[in-house]
A and B are shown apart, each in its own frame.
Chain A
Amino acid sequence: MRTMNNEQLTIDNGQLKRKLNINIIHYPLSIINLIFTGFFILLFLVNSVPVNAQVPDRTKPPALGPTPSLKVNALQKFTLSNGLQVVVYEKKEVPIIQLNLVVKAGSVNESSDKLGLAGMTANMMDEGAAGKTSLELSDEIDYLGADVGANGGLHNSSVTLRSTVSKFDAALKLFSDILLHPDFPASELERLKKQYVTSLFQGFDQPRVIAAAATSSLVYGKEHQYGRTSAGNEKTITSFTVEDLKNFHSMYYRPNNSFLVVVGDVDAKEIVAKLETALGGWQKGDSKPAVIAKPKQVDGRTIYLIDKPEAAQSVIRVCRVGVDRMSQDYFPILVMNTILGGSFTSRLNSNLREKNGYAYGANSGFSMRPLPGPFMAASDVQTDKTDKALQEFMNELNGISKPISDEELIKAKNYIALGYPDNFSSVGSIAYQIGEMIDYGLPENYFNEYIGKVMAVKKDDVRRVAKKYIDTDDLAIIIVGDKAKVEKGLKETKIGKIVNLVPTDVLGPMPKL
């Protein structure tokens, strides 16, 4: 591949593994026409040659045609008799239906002696339900060619279904069994515990896994919910009992603590009637929300060097506490990060990859959550360029607070706004965006105003949020690499004091297998 996908903004709401950058809109993109005409005259000059002329003019890039309008269907909202909120989006081009049931509980709701419980509860839901065994459920789901599964995230858990229209009724029955009547068989729990602990063990092989664990714990501290590893550790995982899983499920998997997004080839009224039958028996309950302390910013600049002897590359993660999803600065941050490290032509990628060739790619992103998640600038760089690469990271992170050019600003805004219709190409991406909207209680007109808000961002806004959120005095710099080869050079950069660590410092003791 020429490039790995850049992730710009990550929204951690645990409903889907897929991550998207931008959101949907409900009206034709006429506003872009107005705003963009000026720009394209500037940059491209208007090409007056008609489309069917036979002689191409290569002296300048051809002008863009009129901005196409995007037709987006209305969101249809329903409430089942048990209080479950259902949002339906009809998309009939391909006979596929996607259901995302989002439960508002995840690893932030775990007590510290039961880390990993949200994930284990979710993963155990299809290991036996409504009297069917794990193998029977799996056989039926696979036979339908459907995807039915559950996943535990940081703030949310999810149960999802994806199937063709012709198999949907049968798949919905299985989805309902798994969601409402998981059996949590003890033998399956013992099996999954061994599998989990083995995965923890394998994490020691992977520099990126080590770096991810370090990012959480060194930015937030191991006591904070954002600093703990949601995978749990050997001690907590081996302590899980069937009771623990049942309690977590009965406490949080409730219709009044969840919502359901339906996207695909459906008729809204028909699907809601089916859902009422399939899920109507699900009872309300009282779920305790998690109490999460406001994260503290990292103090000073520290290089945490985690030794990985013989590594061919150093995994660099430059981190600090970022911003929450509800921030008024969301759009300026989106544009600022696109310029810094959120697209292929961003400054970080242009510098580390195109200009210097130190890496295959470099990017940055804000992980936005109900409370401020981490900001991270990232690259895997060749070992002998680790110090030089870190210098370039610092140059770019400092540079983004200086005035930017018109051209850079317009390119970034257009990239976000004009690329926006692509988010409507699949039922999965539409379901994700609707989920985010509901999860964060974004206003009804949020999608309508999205493009306008992107286009309204000014150079001063970018500079202001860069100064506010990319303050390079306070950074946790995580480097997983070959200490013997990189420490001396890093010291000479004088970028920060060096703290030497080994993988067990961040992953915990190596499991005894």
Chain B
Amino acid sequence: MRKQFFILFIIAGIVSSQTVRINVPYEQFTLKNGLNVILHVDKTTPTVSVNEWFHVGSGYEKKGRTGFAHLFEHIMFEGSKNVPEGKFDEWLEAAGGSNNGSTNVDRTNYFEDIPSNALELSLFLDSDRMGYLLDDMTQGKLDGQRDVVKNERRQSYENRPYGYAFLMIFESLYPQSHPYSWPTIGSMADLSAASLDDVKEFFRTYYAPNNASLSIAGDIDAPKTKAMVEKWFNEVPMGKPVPQQDRTVAVLHEEKRMTIEDRVQLPRLYMAWHSPASLTPGDAELDLLASVLAGGKNSRLYKKLVYDMQIAQDVSAFQSSAKLGSQFIIISTARAGHTLAEIEQVIQEELNLIKSQVPAVRELERARNQYEASFIERLESVNGKADMLNNYYYLTGNPDYFNEDLARYYAVDPQDISTIATRYLKDDARAVLSFVPKGKVELAAKNSQVVSTEGK
């Protein structure tokens, strides 16, 4: 392990732009079974974050078998051969720890935030489910968590205003064969149909040490932690090589326009484009473009729609980065008495403008400074750092990619913003969705076909 101080800020540059240099020292090693391990010491508080990534998300699923990666995010806490059902949580809580997990299209992460004296307990629990989950897998556990997941789906989609929006966006942007076309949480039909054998097969394929990475950050002693990791994980057998993911690049050759009637008071417009994958050229530019368009009162769309014209209640824009390709999305809710056609017209004018005229230097720097501040903020917690180390390792092979990541943002100049907008935010390759109150399709954007969310 290198020097043990966790962020060093070096002010470089003399003109207006200061650049931040980030130093997160780490140690990395690989077990015989292929498990990648990353250790980072930060003794600020006597706590440790144990962060485990399995390199499987809903983007590895098959059509008709959707929602498995997320379903596992639940099942993995339900006990394994040497951890009776319910004890994973009970033992951790009795040690003062908490845990959670999250799933997206590319990966699933599992983490425990614990007092530093509970590290070995955490490694025992994590290694047991990695090595011996199926020994104690039952129909009862599957059925129980399937019900919970269905209620998570009801809570997050069905019982939420505009809840189907992202489901519909992904379905519009990607062909049915593409693994990003279905929602991470899966369809109700697929969740119901999942058999115990399907689920076991999915585990055998993807939840092996050679498809995982363990990042431990916080109040640890590196040599002792390494020995502990070896003790608990060495015996977990290596799995077969993971099948290659279908990496076809999705391309949209048309503009899809549709209207969805929902139980809402106000109409809301969603515009979505394909954009460059996470950490590839164009990704950082689009992050900054999103901020130029909708970050703060002076951003172009906010100022126009919400502040000056006051025809919208809100507007947001973001680059949603993912491994096989990202999405750039703009969302705006119309005020009562205004239509999504009016909103779309203003957004279109602003998009045309940013494509044809280079933004001011201050506009870009404002966006960059906000981004930099939020980046530094994520490094405040060991949980955040452990997750970022795993993220960089997964995407680049190098856990310490912090400065390379930030450097992308420092390298953007105003012309890049216009160039990137022109290249990716095309009028003839996007999805434009109008969510309108039931029976009020006249509030939708122009030339928009009414579609149903029935059975989604």
Contacts and interface: CB of A to CB of B under 8 A. Distances in A.
Contact of B298 (A63, A135, A164, A420): A135
Interface in A82-131: 93-96
Nearest to A66: B117
Contacts of A48: none
Is the interface on chain B under 10, 10 to 19, 20 to 34, or 35 or more residues?
A: 35 or more
B369 A142 contact: yes
Interface string A51-71: 111111011011111111110
Interface in A312-342: 312-313
A425 B115 contact: no
Interface in B18-63: 18, 42, 44-47
Nearest to B368: A145
Interface in B136-180: 143-148, 150-152, 154-155, 158-161
Contacts of A146: 373
A357 interface: yes
Contact of A62 (B121, B224, B234, B266): B121
B118 interface: yes
A311 B159 CA distance: 6
Interface string B370-399: 111110110111100000000000000000
B115 A418 contact: yes
B219 interface: yes
A58 B124 contact: yes
B249 interface: no
Contacts of B235: 56
Contact of B159 (A143, A380, A419): A380
B106 interface: no
Contacts of A360: 148, 151-152, 154-155
Contact of A2 (B81, B96, B101, B336): B101
Contacts of B161: 202, 205-206
A247 interface: no
A447 to B, nearest CB: 15
A66 to B, nearest CB: 6
B117 A68 contact: yes
B412 to A, nearest CB: 16
A296 B424 CA distance: 61
A89 to B, nearest CB: 14
B269 to A, nearest CB: 15
Contacts of A95: 7, 9, 376
Contacts of B333: 202
A16 to B, nearest CB: 15
B264 A358 contact: no
Nearest to B120: A62
B366 A513 contact: no
B192 interface: no
Contact of A353 (B118, B148, B373): B148
Contacts of A287: none
Contacts of B82: 58-59
B96 A202 contact: no
A417 B266 contact: no
B441 to A, nearest CB: 18
Interface string B263-285: 11110000000000000000000
Interface stretch (A152-160, A193-201, A397-405): A193-201
Nearest to B80: A58
A135 B379 CA distance: 30
Interface stretch (A232-240, A367-375, A408-416, A431-439): A408-416
Given A312-B154, A418-B96, A201 B11 contact: no
B90 interface: yes
A382 interface: yes
Contacts of B370: 142, 145
A51 B221 CA distance: 12
A142 B296 contact: yes
A226 interface: no
Contacts of A68: 46, 115-117, 219
A166 to B, nearest CB: 7
Contacts of A353: 148, 151
B381 A425 contact: yes
A345 B7 CA distance: 36
Contact of B44 (A93, A382, A414): A93
A201 B380 contact: no
Contact of A419 (B115, B117, B124, B230): B115
Contacts of A411: 90, 93-94
A345 B90 contact: yes
A74 B362 CA distance: 41
Contacts of A382: 150-151, 154
Contact of B379 (A94, A311, A345, A513): A94
Interface string B323-358: 000000000010111000000000000000000000
Given A166-B11, A205-B265, A138 B297 contact: yes
Nearest to A3: B100
B127 A56 contact: yes
A134 interface: yes
A354 B161 CA distance: 27
A182 interface: no
Contacts of B44: 93, 424-425
Interface of B: 6-7, 9, 11, 18, 42, 44-47, 73-74, 77, 81-83, 86-87, 89-91, 93-102, 113, 115-121, 124-125, 127-128, 143-148, 150-152, 154-155, 158-161, 219, 224, 227-228, 230-232, 234-235, 263-266, 295-298, 303, 306-307, 310, 313, 333, 335-337, 362, 365-366, 369-374, 376-377, 379-382
Given A201-B265, A345-B90, A419-B96, 17 more contacts: A51-B224, A58-B82, A70-B45, A94-B376, A94-B379, A139-B297, A142-B366, A144-B369, A202-B161, A202-B266, A204-B265, A344-B99, A359-B155, A382-B154, A419-B97, A424-B44, A426-B380
Interface of A: 1-3, 39, 43, 51-56, 58-59, 61-70, 93-96, 134-135, 138-139, 142-147, 163-164, 166, 191, 194-195, 198-199, 201-202, 204-207, 310-313, 343-345, 350, 353-360, 380-382, 410-411, 414-422, 424-427, 513
Task: Give the top 9 A-B pairs by smallest Cβ distance, nearest first.
Answer: A418-B96, A357-B147, A145-B373, A513-B336, A68-B46, A419-B96, A145-B369, A65-B117, A312-B158
17 contacts: A1-B101, A1-B102, A2-B77, A64-B95, A66-B117, A68-B115, A138-B297, A147-B373, A195-B313, A202-B265, A344-B93, A380-B159, A411-B94, A415-B93, A418-B115, A418-B118, A422-B45
